[in-house]
Amino acid sequence: MGILHDDVVIISQSEKERDLSVITVNCPDKTGLGSDLCRILFFGLNIVKGDLSTDGKWCYIVFWVAGNSSTRWGLLKKRLLGVCPSCSSASGISELLHTNRRKEDTYDHLKAVMGDAMISCDIEMVGPEITACSQESSFLPTTITDDMLHLEIPDELPSSLTSASVSVTMDNLLSPAHTLVQIACQDHKESRNCEIDLFVQADGKKVVDPNKQKALSSRLEMELLRPLRVAVVSRGPDTELLVANPVELSGKGRPLVFHDITLALKMLKTCIFSAEIRRRMIGDREFEVYRVLLDEGESLRIPRSKIEEAVWNMLMGWD
C-alpha cells in the first residue's frame, strides 16, 4: 500500500514569524535525496535543524527551517515533490523550464531585476555539441588542475581558504548495529557551528576495519575543509579567477556559485571581461569549473589574495 501523494511532503508553517516551520518528507530513498531537498530549501530558507532516517529503501526526513513572509510555500512543496522518487511526474514540474510559460516567467523575472540593462534573453535546449565541448581536455592547463583539484588533504592549507575547526570522530560503542560518525564544523552559509550525527553501516554491518574508518574520515575531512577551490592565476598577460566545486553523485553542481562569484567581484569593484562554465573529470571525480577573466583597469590593483578571500567568503556565506 503506497503513501498518499499529499502526505509525501507536509509543511507546517509557523504561526509566528520568529518561530520555525517544519517540513516533513516521507518517500522512497535514492542517492542524493537529502542533497536535492537541501538545494531547494537553500533558496530563501535556513535549515536550523534536521533529522533523517532510512533503511535504504524508504526515507523519512524532517527539517526545521526559518522562512520569511515572502516564502511561496505552495511552490516550495511542488519543488520538493519534484525531487522525490515516483513523485516527479505527479508534481507537474518535470522539465517545466522547456515550456513557453516557464520561459516567459523566467524572462519576466530577469527583466524585473535587470531593467533596461537587459537587451535580450534566449532560453534554448542544450545540444550534444555543447556537452561534447564541455569535456575538452584543453579547457584547463595541467599545472592548474594538479594544484587546484588534487583529491588529497595537503599538509598546509591557506587558513583564509579553508573551513575552520573540522572534527570527524567515530564510535562503535553507542549503537549495537551502527557506527556513529560525529561531525563538527563551521556551518556553510552561516557563521554558526554545525553538528551532525550519522549512524552508518557498510554492507549491513558496523565500520570496524581501521583502513575503512581512516578512508571515510579523511574523505569527510577533505570535503569539509575544502568544499570548493578558489584561485586567481595568470592567463597569459591577463588575470583569471578560477572556482571549482565537485559535482555531486546526483549529477548536480553547487547552487548559486556564479551569483556569489559575481556579487563578490561587484563588491570589490572588479569587472568581468568574460566567463566560462564547464565540467572536467579529474581522476574519477567530476568538477564544475568556473573561469572568470577579469577586466583590465584599476580593479586589478587589488591583491590576488584579497580577491580569493572575498570570493571564498561569499561562496561559503561567511561575509
What is the domain-level CATH number for residue 239? 3.30.70.260
Domain ends where: 44, 67, 94?
Answer: 94
Q: What is the mean pLDDT of residues 261-284?
A: 88
**pLDDT band for position 147 (50/70/90)?**
low
Mean pLDDT of the chain: 82
Q: Show the domain range for 27.
A: 5-94
pLDDT bucket at 135, cuts 50 / 70 / 90? low
- Looking at the structure of the chain, the number of domains it has is 3
pLDDT at 248 over 90: no
Q: Do 40 and 67 fall within a single domain?
A: yes
Q: Where among 206, 225, 244 does a domain terminate?
A: 225
User: Domain boundary residue among 225, 254, 276?
Assistant: 225
Is there a single domain that holds both residue 218 and residue 292?
no
DSSP state of 138: G
How many angstroms separate the CA atoms of 57 and 79, rounded?
22
Distance of CA 24 to the CA centre of its chain: 21
Q: Burial code of 163-187, b = ≥16 C-beta within 10 A, e = fewer?
A: beebebebeeeeeeebbbbebebbb
- Inside any domain, residue 140: no
Looking at the fold, whether 255 and 217 belong to one and the same domain comes out as no
Residues 264, 307, single domain; the answer is yes
In a domain, 181, yes or no: yes
Residues 206 and 270 in one domain: no
If asked whether residues 273 and 292 sit together in one domain, one would say yes
pLDDT of residue 168: 94
Q: Choose between 297 and 181: higher pLDDT.
A: 181
Task: Flag whether pLDDT at 65 surpasses 60.
Answer: yes
- What residues contact 316, with CB distance under 8 A and at least 6 apart? 163, 188, 189, 227
Residue 121 has pLDDT above 80, yes or no: yes
CA distance 12 to 318: 29
> Is the residue at 213 inside a domain?
yes
Distance separating alpha carbons of residues 268 and 311, to the nearest angstrom: 10
Residue 126 belongs to a domain = no
11 and 77 housed in the same domain: yes
Assess whether 245 and 303 both reside in one domain. yes
Mean pLDDT across 142-152? 61
**Same domain? 218 vs 233:** no
Torsions phi, psi of 133, nearest 5? -65, -35
pLDDT tens by residue, 151-204: 566 555 556 667 767 899 999 999 999 999 999 988 776 657 888 999 998 888
